[in-house]
Structure 1
Amino acid sequence: MCELPAITERAAEADGHIFICTDANWSGSCTDYGFTAGVCSNFPQGFQDDISSLGPDAGWFCNVYIDYNCNNDQSSLRVDNPGIASLGWGNDAFSSLQCFRT
């Protein structure tokens, strides 16, 4: 039986992180979500369609999408560091992201 690496080991494999919170002004449930550069990923369960503030690490920008799997560029928003403390458009709607170095 194959064992999965510990979460801390997998987190170390991420290229960067985006801090996401379910409420505005960096409150509610929050996590530092790891991503791989240029790879689309869906937000983790518990944050799907429930993000109100978010911001990537310095030196990164992320395109966040309302649709899963980074579909539909017309329903996306670019987020640069330090991020957005209180989303207007897209509040509680984003499902996926793709991040790149600035």
Structure 2
Amino acid sequence: MQFKLAFAALASVLAIATAAPLEERAAQVDAHIYICTDDNFGGDCTNYGFTSGVCSNFPSEFQDDISSLGPDAGWYCNVYLDYYCNNDESSLRVDYPGISALGWGNDAFSSLQCYRT
């Protein structure tokens, strides 16, 4: 009986210890970039969180489907046609308040890397 109680207590502690870091990491972002599938910040939109200096790919539902975007005040982002921020020649710098109608790069961006201004 004591073994079952000790095992249950240990399992509970391990579940909490392993779950907490995942939840904390998901909540830890430095800022956001507002991305939309249509011009003038219309269509499907989301406030995508990022970590400064870390490359990330846009969510799958926005891959190659972004027509307007803008980072939070005090930030700029380099957006890339390729995944994993490859190929600097195919990047575009986007400063606050953003671009309401992409010309070059419309419906083509796949990843981003952002920094404080």
Q: Same fold (TM over 0.5)?
A: yes
- CA offsets, 1:43-72, max 9 Å, x none? 001000000000000000000000000000
Corresponding residue SS for 2:62: coil
Question: Any stretches of 5+ residues in structure 1 without a counterpart?
Answer: none
Structure 2 distance, partners of 1:14, 1:49, is 23
> Would you say how many aligned residue pairs link Structure 1 and Structure 2?
99
Structure 1 distance, partners of 2:105, 2:51, is 23
Runs of 4+ in 1 over 6 A off after TM superposition: none
Aligned residues: CA RMSD: 1.5
Structure with a larger share of its residues in strand:
1
Residue 84 of structure 2, aligned match among 69, 72, 77:
69
Question: Any stretches of 5+ residues in structure 2 without a counterpart?
Answer: 1-14
Higher relative contact order (CA 8 A, sep 6+): 1
Structure with a larger share of its residues in helix:
2
Which residue matches 1:44?
Answer: 59
Which residue matches 2:115?
Answer: 100
For normalisation by structure 1, the TM-score amounts to: 0.92
Q: Which has the larger radius of gyration?
A: 2
Structure 2 distance, partners of 1:39, 1:26, is 24
- CA offsets, 1:8-53, max 9 Å, x none? x82x410010000000000000000000000000000100000000
